[in-house]
Structure 1
Amino acid sequence: MQDLVLGLDVGGTASRALVTTLDGTPVGSGVAGAGNPVGVPVEVACAEVSTALAAALRGLDPARIVAGVLGIAGTSRFGDPAVAGAFDAVWRAAGLSCPVRPIGDVVVAYAAGTDEVTGTVLISGTGAIAARISGETMLSSADGMGWLLGDLGSGFWLGRTAATAVARELHAGRDGALVRALLSVLPGGSADAFVTAVHERPPRDLAKLAPLVLGAVADDPIAARIADEAADHLVATAAEVWHPGDPVVLAGSVLTGGPVLRDRVRERLADRRPGVVVPIAEAGTVGAARLAARGVLAD
């Protein structure tokens, strides 16, 4: 029987599992709820990962799985014997006899975009970070400092910058596509009401405005300027770690979710380094499975 590998992408909102052949052909997948023990109790995390894993293994002999990788933010949690032991119990209960190695989600995101062992990944989701990767090691990184100190060009940055601009437009009595887009989700016909609505929500909720900002770019010069600034920030972040000849993998929901920001980033990267290869990351499970297979094939 053909050997298989397991890739898991476990985060604060969902747990995903993918089983593939060594050449990357998918043969099973599953999804469940939040499975990162940084954000939910360990027993909840393990239950959700177990559900996703069971779905991915349905109809397959788990003995065929020869390697696994768990892509997750906060791998240091697995230094706690209680956490590591709880997840080991999940693997055993599923019938796995191979190790399932936790690897940081930034490394996994890079692997989801390229087979090249060494290169750069630029991620923009709720936050933003760039990192230079070699194998399973992060050699260097830039930004990724959270919304208080950085995450420039991220979903949060887009939302906050747009909310600031809309508040000013409302104070001046001006209308526009961006103003209307944000007022569709943040009630308030006046500047004061809008500002109050923003402050009543958790700060990180501003990241949810990013799709509205990018969706207004074609019809609103303020939104277009914000998108341009976001692209400038992201490319500057990538430039801090990027080496000549590196591919630059684009990852994260803001960069992979549509062309508006992605195309701006690609254009700026090409201006800096003509001929640069800029692949788009696939799902994190693909990167995790690719790393698992690479480990097997290297032996």
Structure 2
Amino acid sequence: MANTEGYLVGVDAGGTTTRALVADLSGGRVGTGRAGGANPNSHPPEVAAEQVAASIAAALASAGVPADRVRAGVLGLAGASKLADDRVAALFDAAWHGAGLKCGLRVVTDAEAAFAAGTASSDGTVLVAGTGSAAARIVNRRQVAIAGGFGWLLGDEGSAFWLGRQSVRATLRTLATGAALGVLARSVLSSVLAIQDVSGDPVLRRSVVSRLITAVNAEPPIHLARLAPLVAAAAEAHDPLAGEIVDEAVEWLVRTARDARSAGERTPVVVIGSVAASGGVLGERLRTALEEACGGEVSVAQDGAAGAAWLASLELLGPAALSLRPQLLDE
């Protein structure tokens, strides 16, 4: 039975998806909600704030909990630096309270929420590799240094966006050079153009190159992230182009994590995101490489919203919040 003394809300707002969780004060998960991406760097801030409110409303409805019963909440936000703009901060504050919450809005970075989801330790490193990529050094559960996180135009190496872009680039090179289409190239063409295969006719190949470029440029750049699973699947099928992309992704992500750490540091490393926490060859190779390069225990955080909710419980309950982790985070 849900704790009747109050509830917690945790929100994990990323580039493509926003997830909210309602938990009771014993750590029981009582409701979840989902909405679109809410990173104010990759979406209009007004739209991003609306998605946060929508996810909270959905979670409260799922839980059957009145908003005024929530005693503490934390928003883990990708692109939290954008809230340095008072206008943007006001939009998110209005969305929070517009969802009916009476407790104050506390915003942390998505990295801080992810780290809390992966370990009870107060210090360490978190590697976020989902739509975008970044690593952060965490001290006393606060982000004190960051590596990467420059966004799709200037960085995000190893991220789902980067993997998707590399898959299209590799496909274009294959078409342009007349090479045989492998698993990855066929998958990309099928997904983007609904083409199953292309003959060796140079004229046809040039036409497909133009169509592929046009189709990709017609969508927001961040939509390339949807192609990332094709790279992982092709690598599992031993496609050489996909294998090269996976190798490079692992190298970039390990470098990003190491850049966020102090020399000789042996604190835990938490990984989260569709790329970093995946169960396939990419995720497994990444975690092995991180253990070798960083020297600390590597754990996977699956639920940033639960991490945000646990941070809210720490604020409300203090050290007693440690007892919530087994149920809240399935530890």
Q: TM-score, normalised to structure 1's length?
A: 0.85
Q: Report what 2:277 is aligned to.
A: 256
Pair 160,31 (structure 1): closer, same or farther in 2 beyond 3 Å: closer
Structure 2: runs of 5 or more not aligned: 199-203, 320-331
Moved more, 111-120 or 177-186: 177-186
Shift of 1:128: 1.4
Instruction: Write the distance in 2 (CA, Å) between the matches of 1:37 and 1:239.
Output: 27
Cα-to-partner distance string for 1:45-70 (whole Å, 9 max, x where unaligned): 55544443233334324444221111
| 1:159 paired residue number | 164
Task: Name which of 244, 253, 256 aligns with 1:225.
Answer: 244
Q: Residue 52 of structure 1: which of 30, 50, 55 is its match?
A: 55
Give % identity.
44
1:23/1:197 CA distance change after superposition, 3 Å: farther
Residue 182 in structure 1 maps to residue 201 in structure 2: no
Counterpart position of 1:141: 146
For the Cα contact (< 8 Å) 2:278–2:284, is it kept in 1? no
Equivalent pair of 1:186/1:197 in contact (CA under 8 Å): no
The question of 1:28 aligning with 2:31 is answered: yes
Report the 3-state secondary structure (helix = DSSP H, G, I; strand = E; otherwise coil) of the residue aligned with 1:223: helix
Q: Could you say which residue in structure 1 is the equivalent of 2:290?
A: 269
- The question of 1:106 aligning with 2:111 is answered yes
1:225-281 Cα offsets, whole Å, 9 max, x none, are: 22122111111111112342221111122222432211011111222355x321111
Q: Deviations over 1:82-118 (max 9, x none)?
A: 5555554555555533212122222222222222111
8 A contact 2:273–2:302 mirrored in 1 = no
Pairing 1:290–2:295 present: no
CA RMSD of aligned residues (A): 2.8
1:127 aligns with 2:118: no
Secondary structure of the 2:119 match is coil
Q: Distance in 1 between matches of 2:90 and 2:256?
A: 37
Question: What corresponds to 1:279 in structure 2?
Answer: 299
Q: Deviations over 1:167-195 (max 9, x none)?
A: 33331332322222222124473542343
Gaps of 5+ in 1: none
Larger mean CA deviation between 289-298 and 162-171 belongs to 162-171
TM-superposition CA deviations, 1:177-216 (whole Å, max 9, x none) = 2222222124473542343234212343433221111101
CA contact (8 A) 2:232 2:280 kept: no
Q: Call closer, same or farther: CA 1:80–1:126 in 2, change over 3 Å.
A: closer
Structure-2-length-normalised TM-score: 0.78
